[in-house]
């Protein structure tokens, strides 16, 4: 009998409780106003325009070589002759050039391809970077 009394007390208390106010409890949605200078507004516009023109996402590439420009171009050519379907990029970050390959969405994809090329390009490694959207 005591069990039923405690159970009914717990159920009646839980039916009357509210954890959070629902959206319908507020008469209207609050408004947020962001104030910014004209310079910041222009930078935001330029950022959005660039993002539309050059869409990229977070992903992985394999760096197969870094050094002088002509050496990087030679390595890139060697890679493209053996794997023409995989994109290869020549990047410049002071003070050297880098040859990076692929547009891998996950590290597992990059690891799998690295195992295929590690004998041809020893010293290659995976880097996290911005990649191009995959072609459909």
Residue 124, domain extent: 63-132
User: Is the pLDDT at 21 greater than 50, yes or no?
Assistant: yes
User: Is the pLDDT at 78 greater than 60, yes or no?
Assistant: yes
Q: What is the mean pLDDT of residues 105-116?
A: 96
Residue 116 lies in a domain: yes
* Bond prior to 95 in cis (omega within 30° of 0): yes
DSSP state letter for 57: E
- How many domains, the chain? 1
pLDDT tens digits, one per residue of 39-75: 999 988 887 787 777 778 899 999 999 999 999 999 9
Write the CATH number for 109.
Answer: 3.30.70
Q: What is the mean pLDDT of residues 15-26?
A: 60
pLDDT top residue among 63 and 6: 63
The encoded tokens of residue 128 equal 């996290």
Residue showing tokens 């069990």: 3
pTM: 0.60
Backbone angles phi, psi at 62, to 5 degrees: -110, 125
């Amino acid at each position: 009998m005591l069990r039923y009394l405690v159970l009914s007390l717990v159920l009646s208390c839980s039916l009357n409780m509210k954890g959070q106010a629902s959206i319908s409890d507020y008469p209207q949605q609050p408004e947020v106003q962001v104030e910014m200078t004209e310079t910041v507004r222009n930078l935001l516009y330029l950022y959005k325009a660039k993002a539309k023109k050059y869409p990229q996402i977070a992903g992985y590439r394999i760096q197969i070589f870094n050094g002088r420009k002509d050496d990087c171009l030679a390595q890139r050519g060697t890679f493209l002759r053996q794997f023409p379907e995989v994109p290869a990029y020549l990047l410049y970050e002071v003070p050297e050039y880098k040859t990076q390959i692929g547009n891998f969405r996950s590290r597992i994809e990059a690891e799998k391809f690295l195992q295929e090329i590690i004998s041809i390009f020893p010293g290659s490694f995976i880097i996290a970077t911005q990649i191009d959207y995959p072609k459909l």
